[in-house]
């Protein structure tokens, strides 16, 4: 099959090219994200491969149908960016990568926690300028802290195992409680209790209409003063303006985010020579207790390998008429 691959970076090409020789597929790599201006690049292909910031609405679906596209292979787990109903109506199947090294994201979440707790990012910059003063670098222990985990899917469970190793008390909220986590010592509680009893809160739930702006002024009010809030899941779980207010009044003591609700036109780009137009993220980056990374939690060699293998497997299964085990259908 001929696949048009959108929003590709060098690491995507290298990873897919490594395994393409094992298949009969051919990839056309496009740096551009998929939108109404670039959808024409899909013409002449059998399928497309997209990433989390490629928004595939009904208009895009109609164009893809016109070009004869029968499969959209998502190289990500999230699919809220796809109009599933429109795709089904046009006979276009959607397949995703449901899990790829959950440890990669969980470890990055803990990297944010440790960096904020011990201020290693500040120490790194100081030492590079030959400043070896320890003033202002006093940190806090992670050991003995209560960690609240919102969502105990594959990534949330990997995060809990890491937190357990640090000697933390772990509280969790999930619609579906996990027996393995209970055996690990994780205690499931209602959402508000998790928020009120935790020193650190890490978000690991999907973005749905129910979880949109899960962290807002109301939920923040339940948190302890000085809470550390970590988000490596989806940006829109957090209402940014409410978090900024909570940082200003010191309700939130530390914020570590790898995702941002308006990241679509910012992340995965080099904007170092431009003036940042997004006032909210600019404001966030003025706080000394905020750490922002650009959606890199997934970016490990192991995760990229799993993404490539699963995506190519989805394409092959579709081509051969096999059961598409990773297919996403409208509910």
Chain-centre distance of CA 47, in angstroms? 24
> Which residue in 235, 213, 226, 225 sits closest to 292, CA to CA?
235
Q: Let me know how long the chain is.
A: 331
**Are 48 and 6 within 8 A, CB to CB?**
yes
> Which residue in 147, 170, 259 sits closest to 214, CA to CA?
259
Q: Tell the burial category of 11 from Cβ atoms under 10 Å away from its Cβ (0-12, 13-18, 19+).
A: exposed
- Residues 6 or more apart from 213 whose CB is under 8 A from it? 236, 237, 238, 239, 242
Question: Active-site residue numbers?
Answer: 234, 263, 295
Q: How far apart are CA 45 and CA 132, in angstroms?
A: 57
**Are 198 and 169 within 8 A, CB to CB?**
no
| Two tokens, residue 53 | 């910031």
Q: How far apart are CA 293 and CA 276, in angstroms?
A: 16
**Are 178 and 157 within 8 A, CB to CB?**
yes
Extract long-range pairs of 83-88: CB within 8 Å, 24+ residues apart.
83/56, 83/57, 83/58, 84/328, 84/329, 84/330, 84/331, 85/330, 86/57, 86/58, 86/61, 86/62, 87/56, 87/61, 87/330, 88/329, 88/330
Backbone dihedral angles phi then psi of residue 238, each to the nearest 5 degrees: -110, 130
């Amino acid at each position: 099959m001929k696949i048009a691959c959108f929003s590709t970076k060098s690491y995507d090409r290298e990873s897919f090219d490594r395994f393409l020789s094992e298949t009969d597929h051919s990839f056309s790599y496009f740096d551009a994200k998929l939108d109404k201006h670039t959808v024409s690049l899909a013409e002449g292909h059998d399928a497309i491969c997209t990433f989390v910031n490629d928004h595939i609405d009904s208009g895009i679906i109609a164009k893809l149908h016109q070009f004869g596209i029968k499969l959209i292979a998502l190289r990500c787990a999230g699919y809220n960016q796809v109009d599933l109903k429109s795709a089904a109506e046009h006979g276009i199947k959607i397949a995703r990568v449901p899990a790829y090294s959950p440890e990669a994201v969980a470890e990055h979440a803990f990297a944010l926690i440790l960096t904020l707790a011990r201020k290693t990012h500040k120490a790194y910059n100081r030492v590079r300028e030959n400043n070896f003063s320890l003033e202002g670098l006093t940190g806090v222990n992670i050991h003995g802290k209560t960690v609240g985990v919102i969502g105990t899917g594959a990534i949330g469970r990997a995060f809990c195992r890491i937190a357990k190793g640090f000697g933390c008390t772990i509280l969790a909220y999930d619609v579906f409680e996990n027996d393995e986590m209970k055996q690990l010592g994780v205690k499931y509680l209602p959402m508000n209790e998790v928020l009120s009893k935790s020193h650190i809160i890490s978000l690991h739930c999907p973005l749905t209409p129910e979880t949109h702006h899960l962290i807002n002024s109301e939920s923040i009010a339940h948190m302890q003063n000085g809470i550390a809030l970590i988000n490596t899941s989806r940006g829109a779980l957090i209402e940014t303006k409410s978090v900024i207010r909570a940082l200003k009044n010191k309700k939130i003591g530390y914020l570590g985010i790898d995702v941002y609700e308006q990241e679509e036109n910012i992340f995965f780009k080099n904007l170092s020579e431009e003036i940042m137009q997004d006032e909210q993220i600019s404001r966030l980056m003025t706080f000394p207790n905020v750490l922002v990374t650009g959606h890199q939690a997934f970016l490990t060699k192991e995760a990229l390998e799993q993404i490539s293998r699963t995506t190519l497997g989805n394409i092959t299964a579709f081509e051969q008429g096999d059961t598409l085990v990773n297919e996403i259908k409208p509910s």
